[in-house]
Chains A and B, each alone.
Chain A
Amino acid sequence: DAGVIQSPRHEVTEMGQEVTLRCKPISGHNSLFWYRQTMMRGLELLIYFNNNVPIDDSGMPEDRFSAKMPNASFSTLKIQPSEPRDSAVYFCASSLASASLRGYTFGSGTRLTVV
């Protein structure tokens, strides 16, 4: 298995532009998570899906952020409009269940820079 695939690896965009981050989870995993990593806040959960349904989006910072999972093999995280404070590394992860001793499998992340 190729693992969790995220694209792009790096994204540089201007303030006000729309940004879309993409994720392909591991086949057969039914839970998908979007995390954001910053120096100040560490790894924080933005939203997670079970069986393609959003379960908890309380970590989404504000209405500028939205996430979708149209099918079991694809998810997007969209920021519109983007702001410099959104600069961070965004990770997607997947697992067989919402949480377990086996943990989640993370992708390599998307480093977003908003200038």
Chain B
Amino acid sequence: DQQVKQNSPSLSVQEGRISILNCDYTNSMFDYFLWYKKYPAEGPTFLISISSIKDKNEDGRFTVFLNKSAKHLSLHIVPSQPGDSAVYFCAAAGGSQGNLIFGKGTKLSVKP
């Protein structure tokens, strides 16, 4: 039973355009949500997070939106750059779940 789902295995975007990565979750008790970025042959690195009491958090080109009623969050990258090409993992924790639960990831390719 997957509590965190990333239904798009891959996404291709043109450089300069917006990238939107989506994530759905099933556990309404999750308190916070995180996005990680992973390059090949490296470990995941923390990108941005949001608390369940907020609906938006912005950090430079990266913005995370949280829609609690829909149990959905998204990561927007604008403008997208070729260096953003990586696998992006959505993660969540909270309630009885004391540790991070990850989605399966979405591979983003930004074309020059």
Query: Which residue of chain B is the closest to A59 with respect to CB atoms?
Result: B99
Tell me, in angstroms, the Cα distance from A55 to B97 when the chains sit together: 12
**Known interface pairs A56-B99, A108-B43, A109-B43. Does A99 touch B105 (Cβ–Cβ under 8 Å)?**
no
Please tell me if the beta carbons of B104 and A99 are within 8 angstroms of each other in the complex: no
Please tell me if the beta carbons of A43 and B105 are within 8 angstroms of each other in the complex: yes
Min C-beta distance of B81 to chain A, whole Å: 22
Specify which chain B residues have a CB less than 8 angstroms from the CB of A98 in the assembled complex.
98-99
Contact of A106 among B45, B51, B101, B105 (CB under 8 A): B45
Tell me, in angstroms, the Cα distance from A100 to B94 when the chains sit together: 9
Q: 0/1 per residue, A60-72, Cβ < 8 Å to B?
A: 0000000000000
Question: Which B residues between 69 and 112 are near A, CB-CB below 8 angstroms?
Answer: 89, 91, 93-94, 97-105
**Known interface pairs A42-B105, A43-B89, A43-B105. Does A99 touch B100 (Cβ–Cβ under 8 Å)?**
yes
Contact of B99 among A41, A48, A108 (CB under 8 A): A48
Contact of A104 among B32, B46, B50, B98 (CB under 8 A): B46
Tell me, in angstroms, the Cα distance from A104 to B51 when the chains sit together: 16
Seen from chain A, the residues whose Cβ lies within 8 Å of a Cβ on chain B are: 4, 33, 35, 41-45, 48, 55-56, 91, 93, 98-109
User: 21 A-B residue contacts at CB 8 Å?
Assistant: A42-B102, A42-B103, A42-B105, A43-B105, A56-B98, A91-B44, A93-B43, A98-B99, A99-B94, A99-B100, A101-B51, A102-B46, A102-B49, A103-B36, A103-B46, A103-B49, A104-B46, A104-B100, A108-B41, A108-B42, A109-B42
